[in-house]
Amino acid sequence: MSIIIKLAIAILNGIFFFMKLLPVQKKITYISRQSNKTPIDFELVKEDIKKQAPEYKHVILAKRIPDHMMGKIKYAFHVFVQMYHIATSEAVLLDTYCIPISILKQRQSLVVIQMWHALGAFKKFAYSILDQKEGSSSRIAQLMKMHYHYSYVLTSSHKALPFFAEAFNVEKEKMVVLPLPRTDLLIEEGEGVIERIEEAYPQLQDHDKKVIVYAPTFRKSDDHLRDAILSLINEIDHSKYHLVLKLHPLIERTFDDQRIIVDHKFSTQEFFHRADIIVTDYSAALFEACMMNKPIYFYDFDYDTYMRNRSFYLDYKTDMPGPLCETSESLMNAIEMNTCDLKRVEAFRKEMVAPCKESYTRDFTSFLLKQLSRD
């Protein structure tokens, strides 16, 4: 296997060598494999750079790797598209691992910024969990040069800086404290989003009922999650609460129950604006929830099992800014008694998400354009 991988990388580097002979354009390429839709962070950056430096062309390559074989073959051809744009761009912005950036020999002048798709560092990932059940093989990581060739890596705060540095295996000098651009929307966009959500779901126009948004983390096996959701559905007093499920995009699970909303129309971040109460578990969505200063509860029904497979940068038992509940009954009791302390939520936010100077988007684009002006 290692011989095949090394041979494939050598062939791709040969092709890439000739691509790099093409002229470098005034171009910024954005690459994501989180989904097939343009990530909001990319959209915000693109629009702000258009205002400051309209001479730049923008290419967004957002394509998720499908699970089936034919989809993987098609994605392999998409890699060549990525290679061309990487070879002819001044900068590449990423929010996930990008194979061509890591395995290919890049131009020294290329600016590569890993933004990552999570607002903060909570669960350990990447190099922090090599050879663990939820992580990659260290052998494959070495062969595929996982997370190589970054000029800079963003981190949400000085507290999170060593966590991101460990995860990406980069020197702390490459770390830059710049929370994601979409943090602006957590502060600014509420009213318009709420109107759109209530138009899509008229039942949410009933403000006598509180809205609980449940956003669980991704699990490779979601059987226990299904049981936990069903238990929560049965525990909730639906005359007092609306329950909205915001499942991770990689969780393929539907629930046929007219009493709840399983939303695929809005992002988790958008739906948090309509939430009165946010329920999560080990998800980095907690950082976005904290930015809105809303009550947060943690439904950790599989804590012991999950802890055997994953670990955290933070101490889950002591650092979380809301009540920890192992059962749907204890969760709803905590919600009914309003046990979440918002002062604790605010303190967590201040520690984990640094403040901005102008706006989070403008802080990042100013940094990026400064790096490009040095060439």
Render pLDDT for 88-102 as a digit per residue (tens, 0 to 9): 999 999 999 999 999
CATH topology of domain 2-179+358-373: Rossmann fold (3.40.50)
Q: Is 191-352 the same fold as 2-179+358-373?
A: yes
Q: Is the pLDDT of residue 251 over 70?
A: no
pLDDT at 247: 85
Q: Does domain 191-352 bear CATH number 1.10.4030.10?
A: no
Q: Is the pTM of this model over 0.85?
A: yes
What is the residue extent of each domain of the chain? 2-179+358-373, 191-352
Alpha carbon dihedral 276, 278, 279, 284, in 10-degree steps, equals 170
User: Which of 186, 163, 185, 187 has the alpha carbon at shortest distance from 175?
Assistant: 163
Render pLDDT for 113-164 as a digit per residue (tens, 0 to 9): 999 999 999 989 999 999 887 788 999 999 999 999 999 999 999 999 999 9
Render pLDDT for 175-207 as a digit per residue (tens, 0 to 9): 999 999 999 999 887 778 999 999 999 999 999
Distance (Å, rounded) from C-alpha 280 to C-alpha 16?
43
Distance (Å, rounded) from C-alpha 285 to C-alpha 269?
8
Give ∠ CA 244-246-252 in degrees, rounded to 5. 125
